[in-house]
Amino acid sequence: MLSDRELEQYSRQLMLPDFTLEYQELLRDAWVLVVGCGGLGSPLAIYLAAAGVGRLILADGDTVERTNLHRQILHGEGDIGRSKAASAAALISAHYPDCRVSQFTERLEDEALAQAVNSVQLVADGTDNYPTRFALNRACIRAGKPLVSAAAARSEGQLATFDVAGGGACYRCLYPREGAATALSCRDNGVLGPVVGVLGTLQALEVIKVLTGWGESLRSRVLMLDLKTYAQSIIQVERRADCPDCGEGLGSGFGF
Protein backbone atom coordinates (compact mmCIF):
# COMPACT_ATOMS: atom_id res chain seq x y z
CA MET A 1 0.00 0.00 0.00
CA LEU A 2 1.08 3.56 -0.67
CA SER A 3 1.24 5.98 2.23
CA ASP A 4 -0.73 9.23 2.24
CA ARG A 5 2.51 11.10 1.55
CA GLU A 6 3.26 8.88 -1.45
CA LEU A 7 -0.27 9.30 -2.77
CA GLU A 8 0.21 13.06 -2.64
CA GLN A 9 3.71 13.02 -4.12
CA TYR A 10 2.77 10.90 -7.13
CA SER A 11 -0.79 12.19 -7.46
CA ARG A 12 -0.28 13.78 -10.88
CA GLN A 13 0.80 10.56 -12.56
CA LEU A 14 -1.80 8.60 -10.60
CA MET A 15 -4.44 10.91 -12.11
CA LEU A 16 -3.86 9.23 -15.46
CA PRO A 17 -6.87 6.97 -15.99
CA ASP A 18 -4.75 3.94 -16.84
CA PHE A 19 -1.80 4.44 -14.46
CA THR A 20 -2.91 2.51 -11.41
CA LEU A 21 -1.85 2.30 -7.78
CA GLU A 22 -0.41 -1.12 -8.63
CA TYR A 23 1.91 0.46 -11.19
CA GLN A 24 3.14 2.97 -8.61
CA GLU A 25 3.78 0.15 -6.15
CA LEU A 26 5.73 -1.72 -8.83
CA LEU A 27 7.95 1.34 -9.29
CA ARG A 28 8.45 1.68 -5.54
CA ASP A 29 9.57 -1.95 -5.30
CA ALA A 30 11.77 -1.87 -8.40
CA TRP A 31 15.58 -2.08 -8.55
CA VAL A 32 17.22 -0.57 -11.62
CA LEU A 33 20.88 -0.53 -12.64
CA VAL A 34 21.83 2.64 -14.53
CA VAL A 35 25.17 2.27 -16.31
CA GLY A 36 26.55 5.65 -17.29
CA CYS A 37 25.83 8.86 -15.36
CA GLY A 38 26.52 11.32 -18.17
CA GLY A 39 24.32 12.95 -20.77
CA LEU A 40 21.83 10.09 -20.99
CA GLY A 41 22.16 8.83 -17.45
CA SER A 42 21.51 12.24 -15.90
CA PRO A 43 17.89 12.74 -17.03
CA LEU A 44 17.32 8.99 -16.95
CA ALA A 45 18.28 8.56 -13.30
CA ILE A 46 16.65 11.70 -11.96
CA TYR A 47 13.34 11.04 -13.72
CA LEU A 48 13.28 7.47 -12.44
CA ALA A 49 13.85 8.69 -8.89
CA ALA A 50 11.23 11.41 -9.33
CA ALA A 51 8.71 8.89 -10.69
CA GLY A 52 9.08 6.76 -7.57
CA VAL A 53 11.54 3.99 -8.47
CA GLY A 54 12.59 2.67 -5.10
CA ARG A 55 16.19 1.60 -5.70
CA LEU A 56 18.79 2.83 -8.18
CA ILE A 57 22.30 1.45 -8.61
CA LEU A 58 24.43 4.01 -10.46
CA ALA A 59 27.61 2.89 -12.21
CA ASP A 60 30.20 5.10 -13.90
CA GLY A 61 33.98 4.88 -13.79
CA ASP A 62 34.58 8.41 -15.13
CA THR A 63 34.99 11.74 -13.38
CA VAL A 64 33.23 15.00 -14.18
CA GLU A 65 34.94 17.28 -16.70
CA ARG A 66 34.09 20.86 -17.61
CA THR A 67 33.10 19.75 -21.12
CA ASN A 68 30.36 17.60 -19.56
CA LEU A 69 28.48 20.45 -17.91
CA HIS A 70 26.45 21.63 -20.90
CA ARG A 71 24.50 18.37 -21.04
CA GLN A 72 25.14 16.23 -17.93
CA ILE A 73 22.66 17.93 -15.67
CA LEU A 74 23.34 15.88 -12.52
CA HIS A 75 26.73 17.59 -12.21
CA GLY A 76 27.79 21.17 -11.61
CA GLU A 77 30.88 23.35 -11.38
CA GLY A 78 31.74 22.06 -7.93
CA ASP A 79 31.70 18.44 -9.13
CA ILE A 80 34.56 18.81 -11.64
CA GLY A 81 37.06 16.04 -10.89
CA ARG A 82 34.55 14.10 -8.81
CA SER A 83 33.26 10.63 -9.64
CA LYS A 84 30.19 10.90 -11.84
CA ALA A 85 28.49 8.08 -9.96
CA ALA A 86 29.14 9.76 -6.60
CA SER A 87 28.01 13.17 -7.86
CA ALA A 88 24.83 11.71 -9.32
CA ALA A 89 24.06 9.68 -6.21
CA ALA A 90 24.49 12.71 -3.95
CA LEU A 91 22.12 14.92 -5.94
CA ILE A 92 19.44 12.26 -6.33
CA SER A 93 19.60 11.32 -2.64
CA ALA A 94 19.26 14.98 -1.65
CA HIS A 95 16.25 15.59 -3.89
CA TYR A 96 14.49 12.22 -3.58
CA PRO A 97 15.32 10.63 -0.20
CA ASP A 98 12.77 7.85 -0.69
CA CYS A 99 14.91 6.48 -3.53
CA ARG A 100 17.69 4.33 -2.14
CA VAL A 101 20.79 4.97 -4.22
CA SER A 102 24.02 2.99 -4.32
CA GLN A 103 26.99 3.55 -6.58
CA PHE A 104 29.89 1.95 -8.39
CA THR A 105 32.63 4.49 -9.00
CA GLU A 106 34.79 2.07 -10.98
CA ARG A 107 33.95 0.44 -14.29
CA LEU A 108 31.72 -2.59 -13.85
CA GLU A 109 33.36 -5.68 -15.31
CA ASP A 110 33.28 -9.47 -15.11
CA GLU A 111 31.94 -10.82 -11.81
CA ALA A 112 31.05 -7.37 -10.41
CA LEU A 113 28.96 -6.68 -13.50
CA ALA A 114 27.26 -10.07 -13.31
CA GLN A 115 26.40 -9.55 -9.64
CA ALA A 116 25.05 -6.05 -10.25
CA VAL A 117 22.83 -7.22 -13.12
CA ASN A 118 21.57 -10.18 -11.11
CA SER A 119 20.58 -7.88 -8.24
CA VAL A 120 18.13 -5.73 -10.23
CA GLN A 121 14.99 -6.14 -12.31
CA LEU A 122 16.17 -4.09 -15.27
CA VAL A 123 19.35 -2.56 -16.70
CA ALA A 124 19.43 0.85 -18.40
CA ASP A 125 22.44 1.46 -20.64
CA GLY A 126 23.59 5.04 -21.08
CA THR A 127 27.16 4.27 -22.17
CA ASP A 128 28.97 5.30 -25.35
CA ASN A 129 31.14 2.37 -26.37
CA TYR A 130 30.52 -1.03 -27.89
CA PRO A 131 32.59 -3.18 -25.52
CA THR A 132 30.54 -2.02 -22.53
CA ARG A 133 27.27 -2.36 -24.41
CA PHE A 134 28.16 -5.88 -25.53
CA ALA A 135 29.18 -6.85 -21.99
CA LEU A 136 25.89 -5.51 -20.63
CA ASN A 137 24.00 -7.37 -23.32
CA ARG A 138 25.64 -10.68 -22.42
CA ALA A 139 25.12 -10.11 -18.71
CA CYS A 140 21.43 -9.33 -19.23
CA ILE A 141 20.92 -12.42 -21.38
CA ARG A 142 22.63 -14.60 -18.82
CA ALA A 143 20.59 -13.13 -15.95
CA GLY A 144 17.32 -13.04 -17.90
CA LYS A 145 16.92 -9.28 -17.40
CA PRO A 146 15.63 -6.69 -19.91
CA LEU A 147 18.08 -4.11 -21.23
CA VAL A 148 16.84 -0.61 -22.12
CA SER A 149 19.49 0.98 -24.32
CA ALA A 150 19.83 4.53 -25.63
CA ALA A 151 22.46 6.37 -27.63
CA ALA A 152 22.85 9.98 -28.79
CA ALA A 153 25.36 12.14 -30.65
CA ARG A 154 25.23 15.22 -32.87
CA SER A 155 21.47 15.73 -33.33
CA GLU A 156 20.60 12.04 -33.53
CA GLY A 157 19.57 9.34 -31.11
CA GLN A 158 18.04 5.92 -30.77
CA LEU A 159 16.22 3.94 -28.10
CA ALA A 160 15.32 0.26 -27.79
CA THR A 161 14.50 -2.49 -25.33
CA PHE A 162 16.16 -5.90 -25.64
CA ASP A 163 14.57 -8.76 -23.71
CA VAL A 164 15.69 -12.24 -24.72
CA ALA A 165 14.02 -13.84 -21.68
CA GLY A 166 10.75 -12.34 -22.90
CA GLY A 167 11.24 -13.83 -26.37
CA GLY A 168 12.74 -10.78 -28.05
CA ALA A 169 15.99 -9.90 -29.77
CA CYS A 170 19.20 -8.81 -28.05
CA TYR A 171 21.54 -5.89 -28.73
CA ARG A 172 23.89 -8.09 -30.76
CA CYS A 173 21.01 -9.09 -33.02
CA LEU A 174 21.05 -5.43 -34.06
CA TYR A 175 24.84 -4.99 -33.99
CA PRO A 176 26.33 -8.48 -34.54
CA ARG A 177 29.91 -7.39 -35.20
CA GLU A 178 32.22 -6.27 -32.43
CA GLY A 179 32.98 -3.06 -34.30
CA ALA A 180 35.29 -0.32 -33.13
CA ALA A 181 36.25 0.24 -29.52
CA THR A 182 34.12 3.39 -29.36
CA ALA A 183 30.68 4.02 -30.83
CA LEU A 184 29.61 7.36 -32.28
CA SER A 185 30.25 9.59 -29.28
CA CYS A 186 29.69 13.14 -28.10
CA ARG A 187 33.40 13.48 -27.37
CA ASP A 188 34.33 12.88 -31.02
CA ASN A 189 31.25 14.15 -32.86
CA GLY A 190 29.70 16.83 -30.67
CA VAL A 191 26.12 17.09 -29.44
CA LEU A 192 23.54 19.66 -28.42
CA GLY A 193 22.71 19.26 -24.75
CA PRO A 194 18.94 18.91 -25.20
CA VAL A 195 19.46 16.01 -27.63
CA VAL A 196 20.82 13.71 -24.92
CA GLY A 197 18.22 15.17 -22.58
CA VAL A 198 15.41 14.08 -24.88
CA LEU A 199 16.85 10.59 -25.32
CA GLY A 200 17.58 10.14 -21.62
CA THR A 201 14.06 11.25 -20.72
CA LEU A 202 12.56 8.87 -23.28
CA GLN A 203 14.76 6.14 -21.82
CA ALA A 204 13.30 6.82 -18.36
CA LEU A 205 9.80 6.58 -19.84
CA GLU A 206 10.71 3.28 -21.49
CA VAL A 207 12.05 1.89 -18.21
CA ILE A 208 8.79 2.82 -16.49
CA LYS A 209 6.83 1.10 -19.25
CA VAL A 210 8.85 -2.11 -18.99
CA LEU A 211 8.68 -2.19 -15.18
CA THR A 212 4.94 -1.64 -14.98
CA GLY A 213 3.49 -2.83 -18.28
CA TRP A 214 1.89 0.57 -18.84
CA GLY A 215 1.54 1.61 -22.47
CA GLU A 216 3.47 0.09 -25.35
CA SER A 217 7.20 -0.49 -25.01
CA LEU A 218 9.93 -0.75 -27.62
CA ARG A 219 10.70 -4.44 -27.07
CA SER A 220 12.65 -5.63 -30.14
CA ARG A 221 12.08 -2.27 -31.82
CA VAL A 222 14.38 0.71 -32.27
CA LEU A 223 13.12 4.28 -32.20
CA MET A 224 15.41 6.46 -34.32
CA LEU A 225 15.29 10.25 -34.06
CA ASP A 226 17.00 13.15 -35.79
CA LEU A 227 16.12 16.12 -33.63
CA LYS A 228 17.54 18.61 -36.11
CA THR A 229 14.61 17.90 -38.42
CA TYR A 230 12.33 15.96 -36.01
CA ALA A 231 12.47 13.03 -38.39
CA GLN A 232 11.72 9.73 -36.71
CA SER A 233 11.24 6.09 -37.53
CA ILE A 234 10.81 2.77 -35.76
CA ILE A 235 12.43 -0.40 -37.04
CA GLN A 236 11.77 -3.98 -35.97
CA VAL A 237 14.68 -6.08 -34.72
CA GLU A 238 14.33 -9.80 -35.29
CA ARG A 239 16.19 -12.36 -33.23
CA ARG A 240 19.05 -13.81 -35.25
CA ALA A 241 19.75 -17.55 -35.23
CA ASP A 242 23.43 -16.76 -35.77
CA CYS A 243 23.63 -14.01 -33.13
CA PRO A 244 26.97 -14.29 -31.29
CA ASP A 245 25.26 -13.66 -27.93
CA CYS A 246 21.78 -15.19 -28.05
CA GLY A 247 21.83 -17.37 -31.17
CA GLU A 248 20.67 -20.97 -31.39
CA GLY A 249 22.87 -23.55 -29.72
CA LEU A 250 24.58 -21.08 -27.39
CA GLY A 251 22.46 -21.91 -24.38
CA SER A 252 24.22 -20.79 -21.19
CA GLY A 253 27.65 -21.38 -22.62
CA PHE A 254 28.23 -18.12 -24.48
CA GLY A 255 31.19 -16.03 -23.46
CA PHE A 256 31.01 -13.19 -20.98
Average pLDDT of the segment spanning 225-249: 93
Query: For residue 212, is it within any domain?
Result: yes
Which residues partner with 83 through β-bridges?
Answer: 63
Q: Residue 184's pLDDT is what?
A: 58
In the chain, the number of structural domains is 1
- Sheet with 221-226, strands from edge to edge, namely 100-104, 55-59, 31-35, 122-125, 147-153, 156-162, 221-226, 231-236
Full domain range(s) for residue 170: 18-236
Q: State the alpha helices, DSSP H only, in the chain.
A: 4-9, 11-14, 21-28, 41-51, 84-95, 110-118, 130-143, 171-174, 186-189, 193-212
83's CB contacts (< 8 A; 6+ apart) are 60, 62, 63, 64, 103, 105
Residue 85 lies in a domain: yes
The CATH number that applies at residue 122 is 3.40.50.720
pTM: 0.92
| 79 belongs to a structural domain | yes
Contacts of 80 (CB under 8 A, 6+ apart): 64, 65, 66, 69
Q: What's the pLDDT at 177? A: 78
| pLDDT bracket for residue 252 (50, 70, 90) | very low
Assigned domain for 256 exists = no
- List helix spans (H) across 96-145: 110-118, 130-143
Q: Is residue 241 part of a domain?
A: no
Domain membership of residue 244 (yes or no) is: no
d(CA 253, CA 256): 9
pLDDT beyond 80 at 42: yes
The average pLDDT across 214-232 equals 96
